[in-house]
Amino acid sequence: MSTVVSLPLPARRGARSPVQRPAPRLALLGTGTVGSAFVARCERLRAQGMALPAFAWLSNSRVLVNGEGDPRRAVEEARAAPARAGGRPPWVENEGLRSDDIVIDATASDGVAGWHSEWLARGIHMVTANKLGNGADLARAQAIAAAQRERPGVHYGDSATVGAGLPLLRSIRELVAGGDRIRMIEGVLSGSLAWLFDRYDGSRAFSELVREARDAGFTEPDPRDDLGGEDVRRKLLILARAAGVPLEPHAVQVESLLPEALAQATPAQVDERLVLLDADLAERRRQACADGAQLRFVGRFDDDGISVGLRALPDAHPLCAGRGTDNLVAIGSCRYREQPLVIRGPGAGAEVTAAALLDDVLRIARAAA
């Protein structure tokens, strides 16, 4: 067997040597469910021979750890770090990032989301699972879009923010870029609520299932963000804005599942107050069954408005077809006028979300190569 070795071509006389740009590095914010799954996936694929940028550092709200050794150990170290007393998060003063590095936001932090446009403006790419960049105040989403316009080679990877990487955002952006107009988006956009209402057959209390969904990593760090409709509000805003409709959060009518005493609970009180969900949901389920219907938490955007809430849908309704954490979303447009484009698949969980983050990282790294 012969081995072919490619030798560098001699530089042409007088030709300028290409400027050596340092290789992009990864900086991970968040070492919880999604962040640790992201590191595990990177290191698994790296061990299989995939070329991936190296980690510069990893950080949570308590500590920043150098990622240049074994990033899995760095995650363990970060997760074991003691609580930090107040003040700014550890990465703020010492992030040391340079142009072309890639920040991965695997937090649910509003403060971190406030930095997205700042990093883009500095030529640092962003990849995010955190929906508070494009799914919170319109001004913040517009600042992110403006920073991207001003730095055309700098990327904002947000596939993980809706459908945990299902090709929802991508499809909408491609339709719009092709001259289509999005007229309607309707569907089940919460993986945890999809799982809860798929499982909720009356044999177990709803609150018990919420704990299971939280422990499985399907809910937001605070499950009230799912139960109150906030998570679906954010996702619908992200989709609507991607469709070119610049909506403010208050434009979304949200029907929350949270009783007042649970909505007002401190984080430490949430677990014991989850039982307050049970009576109302048991009654809604009983009524739905009597009517030959099923409960589904649905978001809808169209020319008449944008809303989020629990619906009792006939058993045969297409939105009742999802199983487990499936998201199931219909997109109506000028092109898809008679029959909507339908996208369905798992919409929550550490593994799919970590894969979506890594897909975005790889797209950026390959574009930069």
Ligand X SMILES: NC(=O)C1=CN([C@@H]2O[C@H](COP(=O)(O)OP(=O)(O)OC[C@H]3O[C@@H](n4cnc5c(N)ncnc54)[C@H](OP(=O)(O)O)[C@@H]3O)[C@@H](O)[C@H]2O)C=CC1
Ligand Y SMILES: N[C@@H](CC=O)C(=O)O
- Give the catalytic positions in this structure: 235
> Can residue 311 be called a binding residue for ligand X (CB under 6 A)?
no
> Can residue 113 be called a binding residue for ligand X (CB under 6 A)?
no
CA-to-CA dists, residue 104 to 47, 293, 347, angstroms: 21, 41, 19
In sequence order, the β-bridge partners of residue 28 are 58, 104
> Can residue 298 be called a binding residue for ligand X (CB under 6 A)?
no
Residue 32 or 340 having the CB closest to ligand X: 32
For ligand X, which residue of 57, 119, 195, 218 counts as binding (CB under 6 A)? 218
For ligand X, which residue of 27, 58, 160, 358 counts as binding (CB under 6 A)? 160
What Rg value do the Cα atoms of the chain yield, rounded?
Answer: 22
What is the spatial order of strands in the sheet that 341-346 belongs to?
Answer: 252-254, 305-314, 293-302, 182-188, 326-333, 341-346
For ligand X, which residue of 164, 258, 295, 358 counts as binding (CB under 6 A)? 164
For ligand X, which residue of 59, 171, 190, 307 counts as binding (CB under 6 A)? 59
For ligand Y, which residue of 74, 108, 348, 361 counts as binding (CB under 6 A)? 348
The one segment of 3-11, 17-25, 204-212, 218-226 that binds ligand X by CB under 6 A? 218-226
> Can residue 33 be called a binding residue for ligand X (CB under 6 A)?
yes
What does 190 interact with, of ligand X, ligand Y, none (CB < 5 to 8 A by kind)?
A: ligand Y
CB-side neighbour CA atoms (13 Å) of 315: 4
Q: How far is the CB of 168 from ligand Y (least distance, A)?
A: 11
Q: How far is the CB of 296 from ligand Y (least distance, A)?
A: 13
For ligand X, which residue of 353, 360, 361, 365 counts as binding (CB under 6 A)? 353
Q: How far is the CB of 111 from ligand X (least distance, A)?
A: 5
What does 89 interact with, of ligand X, ligand Y, none (CB < 5 to 8 A by kind)?
A: ligand X
Pairing, β 182-188 against β 55-59: unpaired
Which residues, 6+ apart, have CB-to-CB distance to 125 below 8 Å?
24, 100, 101, 102, 103, 119, 154, 155, 156, 157, 364, 368
> Can residue 106 be called a binding residue for ligand X (CB under 6 A)?
yes
For the four alpha carbons of 147, 150, 152 and 153, in that order, the dihedral sign comes to negative
What does 326 interact with, of ligand Y, ligand X, none (CB < 5 to 8 A by kind)?
A: none
Residue 112 or 298 having the CB closest to ligand X: 112
271 C-beta neighbours (distance < 10 Å), count: 14
Q: How far is the CB of 170 from ligand Y (least distance, A)?
A: 16
- What residues between 186 and 205 interact with ligand Y by CB under 6 A? 190-192
**Residue keyed to tokens 């029907």:** 255
What does 226 interact with, of ligand Y, ligand X, none (CB < 5 to 8 A by kind)?
A: ligand Y
For the four alpha carbons of 313, 319, 324 and 329, in that order, the dihedral sign comes to negative
CA-to-CA dists, residue 214 to 31, 51, 166, 305, 346, angstroms: 16, 33, 21, 31, 16
CA trace torsion 80, 95, 86, 354 (10° rounding): -50
What does 211 interact with, of ligand X, ligand Y, none (CB < 5 to 8 A by kind)?
A: none
- Cβ atoms of 320 and 197 closer than 8 Å: no
Q: Please, what's the largest Cα pairwise distance for the chain?
A: 84
Q: How far is the CB of 92 from ligand Y (least distance, A)?
A: 26
Contact map string, positions 203 to 242, toward ligand Y, x by CB under 6 A: ---------------xxx-----x----x-----------
Which phi and psi angles does 29 have, rounded to 5°?
-105, 120
Question: Would you mind telling me the total number of residues written for the chain in this entry?
Answer: 369
- What residues between 155 and 184 interact with ligand Y by CB under 6 A? 164
For ligand X, which residue of 26, 27, 28, 34 counts as binding (CB under 6 A)? 34
C-alpha 290 chain-centroid distance: 36
Residues that bind ligand Y (CB under 6 A): 164, 190-192, 218-220, 226, 231, 347-348
Residues that bind ligand X (CB under 6 A): 29-35, 59-62, 89, 106-109, 111-112, 129-131, 160, 164, 191, 217-218, 220-221, 348-349, 353
